[in-house]
């Protein structure tokens, strides 16, 4: 097999996808759009934006790709998979009807209700006059407020501060017409990435992200500051419950529709003190940075796995995993997540220093006119290591990070703390 693939997106997740595809015997040629200064190492970067659906379909046709792997959620919510399939091009990433699982929290709640999947109870508010009565009735625990639109990680507020709650609810109702209010679920979070098509599904090893910007899970939420895999909080018993109570019912629910779900279903879990898993959110794509720590643990041809899922052939694959541990630490720009100082030189992140144990995934990186590596986003890069123990993967990643210099940058020093 010698397939050509187009990877859509330009973050650390897409770098990780390109790296995994580059070591896949089934993949001959990799194209990325828009990519970043890291993905260019594995193939050709193109300049079609991930939001330009018609442009992406045209590019796929021009390149005569065998399939397209979509990294971010927005183009899926905008119907990229539908348009590609109409053009006869297989797509790893679900069609618009299913992408609503991420695009609309209310849609996801209704799907979970229909499938009988455990999740927090919720109410929908659409009148600002109801806010005080609601907040009074539920004042014993933090309020969980969720906008019902794609909000790039800024759509959820969990707070015990009444003024903040009122403001966010009011703004959300004004802009979106309504807002979701969920019961607070106490517990520990984990991410389960499930590769799915109409023929079956494969659960990848569970991982854990670190969403807050500062050590000790303090500060504002980010896209994710680091992750490790596997996450021991998901014990074998909890893994089994997650499959029985969440993955199987969702697979049946999605399979009962006449449009197959092809891609990854990202199950964001909250595990309570009794070891019972609840769904906090669904995403319709690989997590970032979960992708960086999950793909390296797949013992096999990742290109074949993604191609199979794009073609309803998953059930014919046997997927095995390495008994290793992976840990990734994100390096962010000065100011992130509130803002990001961009355009600064990055030193020590060159591909030449990558080894099979430790490597850099680029995210917000670009080249200046002199071809020097510069920062171009909030999350700039991440350092990933794979080792026999989590401690070793942790140490390798932090050692490599010491060699990278970017003025004003910051990273968490406690990635993996819950497991170490
Ligand atoms: P979401 O985008 O729905 O995953 O929410 C973002 C973050 O808010 C999650 O990763 C959790 O840390 C937190 N969160 C969301 N829903 C709840 C809930 N019902 N109870 C407690 N924390 C939550
Ligand atoms: N790391 C969380 C996400 O990708 O949504």
pLDDT per position as a tens digit, 14-72: 999 999 999 999 999 999 999 999 999 999 999 999 999 999 999 999 999 999 999 99
Which of 150, 228, 288 for a ligand 2 pocket mutation test, highest count of atoms within 8 Å of Cβ? 288
Q: Phi and psi of 238, rounded to 5°?
A: -70, -35
Cα–Cα nearest to 14, from 92, 104, 101, 105? 92
Pairwise CA distance, residues 48 & 71, whole Å: 14
Q: What confidence category does residue 291 fall into, taking pLDDT thresholds of 50, 70 and 90?
A: very high
The C-alpha atoms of residue 341 and residue 358 are separated, in whole angstroms, by 27
Residue 96 pLDDT grade (very low, low, confident, very high; cuts 50, 70, 90): very high
The conformational region for residue 52 under phi > 0 = left, psi -120 to 50 = alpha, else beta, is beta
pLDDT band at 407 (very low <50, low <70, confident <90, very high): very high
**Ligand 2 atom 4 nearest Cα:** 287
pLDDT single digits (tens) 331-366:
999 999 999 999 999 999 998 899 999 999 999 999
Write down the pLDDT at residue 49.
98
Q: Tell me, using a 6 A CB cutoff, whether residue 281 lines ligand 1.
A: yes
Task: Indicate if the pLDDT at residue 222 is higher than 80.
Answer: yes
Confidence of residue 128 (pLDDT cuts 50, 70, 90): confident
Residue 127: predicted pLDDT: 85
Q: What is d(CA 196, CA 203) in angstroms, rounded to the nearest whole number?
A: 9
Residue 394 has pLDDT above 90, yes or no: yes
Q: The tokens of 415 are what? A: 């990635």
What's the pLDDT at 154? 82
Are the CB atoms for 221 and 146 separated by under 8 Å? no
Does residue 393 have its Cβ closer than 6 Å to ligand 1? Answer: no
Contact between 291 and 306 under an 8 Å Cβ cutoff? The reply is: no
Q: Quick check: CB of 122 below 6 Å from ligand 1?
A: no
CATH numbers and ranges of domains, the chain: 3-99 (3.40.50.20), 121-182 (3.30.1490.20)
Task: Give distance in angstroms: CA of 214 to centre of ligand 2.
Answer: 17
3-class DSSP state of 263: strand
Whether ligand 2 lies within 6 angstroms of the CB of 290 is answered as yes
153: pLDDT strictly greater than 80: no
Average pLDDT, the chain: 96
CA distance 398 to 246: 35
Residue nearest to atom 2 of ligand 2 (CA): 287
| Residue 135 in tokens | 């907040």
pLDDT at residue 113 in the model: 97
Cβ–Cβ under 8 Å, residues 47 and 34: yes
pLDDT of residue 202 exceeding 80: yes
Task: Quickly state the pLDDT bin for 115 (edges 50, 70, 90).
Answer: very high
Beta strands (DSSP E) in 368-415 are 373-375, 379-387
pLDDT at 129 over 90: no
């Amino acid at each position: 097999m010698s397939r050509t693939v187009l990877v859509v997106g330009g973050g650390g997740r897409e770098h990780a996808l390109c790296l995994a595809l580059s070591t896949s015997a089934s993949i001959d040629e990799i194209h990325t759009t828009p990519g970043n200064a890291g993905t260019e190492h594995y193939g050709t970067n193109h300049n079609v934006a991930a939001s330009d659906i018609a442009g992406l379909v045209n590019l796929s046709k021009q390149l005569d790709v065998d399939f397209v792997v979509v990294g971010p959620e927005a183009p899926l919510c905008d119907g990229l998979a539908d348009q590609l399939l109409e053009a006869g091009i297989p797509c790893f990433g679900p069609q618009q009807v299913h992408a609503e699982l991420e695009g609309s929290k209310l849609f996801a709640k209704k799907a979970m209700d229909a499938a009988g999947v455990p999740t927090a109870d919720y109410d929908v508010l659409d009148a600002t006059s109801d806010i005080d009565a609601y907040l009074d009735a539920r004042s014993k625990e933090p309020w969980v407020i969720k906008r019902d639109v794609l909000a790039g990680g800024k759509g959820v507020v969990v707070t015990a501060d009444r003024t903040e709650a009122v403001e966010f609810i009011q703004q959300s109702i004004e802009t979106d017409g309504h807002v979701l209010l969920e019961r607070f679920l106490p517990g520990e979070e984990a991410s389960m990435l499930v590769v799915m098509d109409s023929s079956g599904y494969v659960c990848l090893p569970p991982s854990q992200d670190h969403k807050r910007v500062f050590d000790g899970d303090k500060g504002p939420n980010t896209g994710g500051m680091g992750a490790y895999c596997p996450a021991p909080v998901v014990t074998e018993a909890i893994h089994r419950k997650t499959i029985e109570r969440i993955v199987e019912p969702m697979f049946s629910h999605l399979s009962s529709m006449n449009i197959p779900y092809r891609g990854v279903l990202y199950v964001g879990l909250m595990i309570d003190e009794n070891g019972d898993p609840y769904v906090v959110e669904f995403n319709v794509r690989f997590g970032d940075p979960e992708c960086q720590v999950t793909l390296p643990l797949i013992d096999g041809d990742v290109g074949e796995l993604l191609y199979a899922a794009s073609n309803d052939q998953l059930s014919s694959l046997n997927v095995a995993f390495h008994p290793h541990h992976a840990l990734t630490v994100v390096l962010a720009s000065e100011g992130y997540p509130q803002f990001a100082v961009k355009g600064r030189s990055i030193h020590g992140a060159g591909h030449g220093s990558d080894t099979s144990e430790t490597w850099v995934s680029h995210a917000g990186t670009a080249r200046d006119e002199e071809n020097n590596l510069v920062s171009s986003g909030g999350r700039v890069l991440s350092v990933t290591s794979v080792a026999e123990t989590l401690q070793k993967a942790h140490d390798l990643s932090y050692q490599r990070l010491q060699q990278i210099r970017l003025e004003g940058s910051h990273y968490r020093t406690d990635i993996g703390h819950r497991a170490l």
